[in-house]
Amino acid sequence: MEIIISILSWIFRNILWINILLAILLVFFERRNPTTTWLWIMVLTFLPGIGFLLYLFIGQDLSKKKIFQLKEVEDHCFRDIAGFQGEQMKRDEYTYKDPNYTKYEDLITMNLISAESFFTQDNNIELYFDGEEKFKSLMKSIREAKEFVYLQYYIFKSDGLGKKIIDLLCEKAREGVEVKLLVDGMGARKFSRKYIKKLKDSGAEVAIFFPAFIPYLSLRINYRNHRKICIIDGKEGFIGGFNVGDEYIGLSKKFGYWRDTHIKITGSAVSSLQWRFNLDWRFATGSEITRCQTYLSDETGNTGVQVVSSGPDSKWASVKDAYLKMISNAKEKIYIETPYFIPDDSIFDALRIAGLSGLDVRIMMPCKPDHPFVYWASMSYIGELLEAGVKFYTYEKGFLHSKVVLMDDFVSSVGTANLDIRSFKLNFEVNAFIYDETINLKLTDRFLNDLKNCKEITLEEYSKRSKIVRIKESFSRLLSPIL
């Protein structure tokens, strides 16, 4: 006992130096952005003991090496297709259905190379802006499924909406349809084990991405699977911002009306969504992927789509790079809807330059925060961009959760990635990049209609913020690399 007390006493007396040593060993072990590195040095130095625990939970994850190994071995399904397309485009041998595609060949090529996201031209797109509408369509597709139903959500709750979907999945599984449900270990912590058992008893398969060490308590904040993907028989694919829970159909007293954007794809792009699901399922379950199933479509659509995934297992920050390319290449407008606005230096500078160049740059955010520190950090970035001519709006009708970026009158992005550092580097995300004038027009019309329920943040109003608000913003911005 005396020896243990002596050891603990020595650790307590030297905790500061031990913490500094751990900071050096841990932080510099990984290649990081210098800003993030200095932030962690401050946390580890000024919060001895506590800072080290914070670093373990949200700063570093030993599973990252495992992720990279899986990525290197398996994520090659469409490498040959993407490579072949890229070579054809380079030699001007690729045939586009729509001549407008050639104007954005640099963006298409970048996605081909960085994300192995092959380009498809035979798709049809349906847009959903309301949760009731989206889930009505999804449940209809599930009811009509003949072969398989694959669902992947970050948040899945066992509430009214969740139970309806669970009951339907159980019904389809008992009919002999292959049913797989993949949820995130932190986002789906309110997913009752009783309903997981019910699904499994019906013949459905359920997997959890990075499950919690302790049930209902997930401390591993980084490397969450933020994707929302549904594939029905390899023919229909859903992707966007809606999770599963009553708040997403407007039943939350706290948030009220939930404004989001989701799409349904029919066409060859569905095969990219299915391969993304297969990889995530493989990581969560350890099961083998027997073959690369492309399910090339017989659809007669004419919308170009690339499905771009990114995350800690990606060599490149592919979704962020595509956002950056859209902002940098825009000639007329950039419209953005995002619940969280914490841009890194490259996105911030691109928006600032676009504003200074006279482009119509508008950014819409929620008026009410679901995460206060993230909200205050978001507000801290607005001032300089307002001075550059960028316009900001807060959505007042309810909660804005839509993740949409619109470039000029042709290119649109709809998916799961927010305009923040966490989505760019720390979470697993997936977006559909859509090349179509009609879809862009519909999304633009919805954006302009949403403005009727918004309040513009003027530079004059922004400059009148109280000192308390400014302090909150400054502190939150300091933490923005890890928010």
Is 262 marked active-site? no
Is 408 marked active-site? yes
CA 260 to chain centre: 13
The answer to whether 312 touches 110, Cβ cutoff 8 Å, is: no
The one catalytic residue in 403, 420, 425, 472 is 403
In the numeric block, which tokens belong to residue 270?
A: 């569905």
In the numeric block, which tokens belong to residue 129?
A: 């802006």
The one catalytic residue in 122, 280, 408, 436 is 408
In the numeric block, which tokens belong to residue 288?
A: 């083998």
Q: Which 3 state secondary structure label does DSSP give 177?
A: coil
Closest CA to 307 of 271, 283, 333: 271
The one catalytic residue in 180, 228, 264, 320 is 228
In the numeric block, which tokens belong to residue 181?
A: 């449900």
How many of the other CB atoms lie within 10 Å of CB of 257? Answer: 16
Q: Which segments of 343-425 are extended strands (E)?
A: 360-366, 391-395, 398-400, 404-407, 411-415, 419-420
How many of the other CB atoms lie within 10 Å of CB of 98? Answer: 15
- Listed in sequence order, the residues at least 6 apart from 148 whose beta carbon sits closer than 8 Å to its beta carbon are 177, 178, 179, 180, 231, 232, 233, 234
Q: Which 3 state secondary structure label does DSSP give 159?
A: coil
The one catalytic residue in 61, 130, 184, 233 is 233
Is 228 marked active-site? yes
For every residue of 194-254, DSSP letters joined together read HHHHHHHHHT-EEEEES--SBTTB----SS-B---EEEETTTEEEEES--BSGGGGT-BTT
CA 446 to chain centre: 21
The answer to whether 469 touches 372, Cβ cutoff 8 Å, is: no
DSSP element (H, E) containing 439: helix 437-450
Residue 96: DSSP 8-state: P
Catalytic residue numbers, as ranges: 226, 228, 233, 401, 403, 408
